[in-house]
């Protein structure tokens, strides 16, 4: 528990302290957001707001995670390092995307093929890695199985498991990217998801099969360190939200959204809660579905269901205030996270 608190606290402190410096630096370099011409009219006032703020979340999380191990004189685990690899790797792809947008002064960065290639290389490396490195009890960071509240079904072929992991990684990294359209929306929703994974990791530690064998124990390799990873990223997100809250002084950009999307998938895979992520990350799923419904409707019927997709912009065009949308969507995400944690706990309870 001490490691969780140290990681979250240090990450929060780093994020709060260096964010003003980063904002001033990005202003000086003119690394501002390029706003789409076809976006809501109110977004034009956000033109030039510094972006790439996800760098601070990543730096804060890295410092918080490794400093917590240094303070407690413990070694980082393979599970924790692999999730951090996915987090930083996806953030690097996002950074390149943001940099090209800013350098070429356009709303589109990396070409879709190059972006997908970067996500695939990082994601495949993670997916293969989590099936390796067994500990003394034979537990690897993840198993090549599907999971909901724990693993179920037969093991998948490695290539099938890698493809499944890539689907989740690419899907959720882009889902967080779609959610990051209003000040504080994606950051607040991600904070709630990370709280869930701190709780899940801590609970799995207390009910670990390493401590005692029981029908309801969890064969998770490094549950405590996964909770530390989630806590480190949680602290970074809270510090970032202080400056990203409406009216935002900085945006996370693809640097942050791709990193955080990859992060929660990494936590879901290593805690054996892959399909539960659809509930814990429910807001990201709903927003992505709104885009899919909009595109499908237009292609099939020539008509749009929403005034604009993702759905948060639909409510903007209906006249809802930005802060009203953000807070109400946070409430939806909070309810989804509550349902997810409730399902996780109820499944464990002896019958």
pLDDT in tens, 232-243: 999 999 999 999
Structure tokens at 164: 């499944």
Phi, psi (rounded to 5 degrees) for 66:
-75, -35
Q: What span, in angstroms and rounded, lies between the C-alpha atoms of 139 and 116?
A: 31
Rg (CA), the chain: 20
Q: Which residue has the tokens 């995400």?
A: 333
| Confidence tier at 216 by pLDDT (50, 70, 90) | confident
pLDDT of the residue at 302: 82
In whole angstroms, what is the distance from residue 212 CA to residue 230 CA? 25
Which pTM does this prediction carry? 0.93
Task: Specify the pLDDT at position 239.
Answer: 96
Q: What is the pLDDT of residues 93-109, one digit of tens each?
A: 999 988 887 777 665 66
Q: Give mean pLDDT, residues 18-22.
A: 93
Closest by alpha carbon to 59, among 201, 205, 237? 237
pLDDT grade, residue 47 (50/70/90)?
Answer: low
Rounded CA separation 105/127 (Å): 35
| Number of alpha helices (DSSP H) and beta strands (DSSP E) in the chain | 12, 2
In degrees, to the nearest 5, what angle opens at C-alpha 321 toward C-alphas 234 and 235?
Answer: 10
Higher pLDDT, 107 or 347: 347
Q: State how far the Cα of 309 lies from the Cα of 340, in Å rounded to an integer.
A: 26
Residue 225 has a pLDDT of 96
| 254 annotated to a ligand binding site | yes
pLDDT digit string (tens) for 131-155? Answer: 999 998 889 999 999 999 999 999 9
């Amino acid at each position: 528990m001490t490691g969780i608190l140290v990681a979250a606290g240090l990450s929060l402190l780093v994020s709060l302290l260096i964010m003003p410096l980063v904002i001033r630096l990005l202003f000086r370099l003119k690394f501002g957001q390029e706003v789409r011409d076809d976006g809501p009219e109110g977004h034009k006032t956000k033109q030039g707001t510094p972006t790439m703020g996800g760098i601070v979340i990543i730096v804060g999380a890295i410092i918080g995670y490794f400093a917590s191990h240094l303070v407690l004189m413990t070694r980082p685990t393979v599970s924790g390092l692999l999730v951090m690899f996915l987090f930083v790797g996806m953030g690097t792809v996002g950074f390149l995307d943001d940099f090209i947008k800013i350098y070429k002064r356009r709303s589109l960065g990396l070409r879709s093929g190059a972006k997908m290639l970067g996500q695939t290389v990082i994601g495949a490396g993670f997916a293969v890695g989590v099936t390796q490195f067994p500990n003394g009890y034979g537990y690897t960071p993840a198993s090549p199985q599907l999971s909901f509240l724990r693993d179920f079904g037969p093991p998948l072929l490695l290539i099938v498991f890698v493809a499944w992991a890539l689907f989740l990684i690419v899907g959720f990294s882009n889902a967080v990217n779609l959610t990051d359209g209003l000040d504080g929306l994606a950051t607040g929703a991600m904070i709630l998801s990370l709280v869930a994974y701190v709780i899940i990791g801590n609970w799995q530690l207390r009910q670990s099969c390493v401590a005692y064998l029981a029908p309801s124990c969890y064969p998770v390799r490094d549950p405590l360190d996964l909770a530390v990873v989630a806590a480190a990223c949680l602290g970074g997100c809270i510090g970032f939200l202080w400056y990203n809250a409406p009216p935002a002084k900085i945006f996370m950009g693809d640097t942050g959204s791709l990193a955080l999307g990859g992060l929660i998938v990494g936590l879901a895979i290593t805690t054996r809660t892959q399909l539960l992520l659809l509930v814990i990350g429910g807001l990201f799923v709903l927003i992505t579905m709104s885009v899919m419904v909009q595109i499908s409707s237009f292609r099939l019927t020539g008509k749009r269901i929403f005034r604009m997709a993702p759905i948060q912009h639909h409510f903007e065009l209906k006249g809802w205030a930005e802060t009203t949308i953000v807070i109400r969507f946070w409430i939806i995400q909070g309810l989804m996270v509550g349902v997810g944690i409730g399902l996780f706990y109820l499944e464990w309870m002896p019958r």
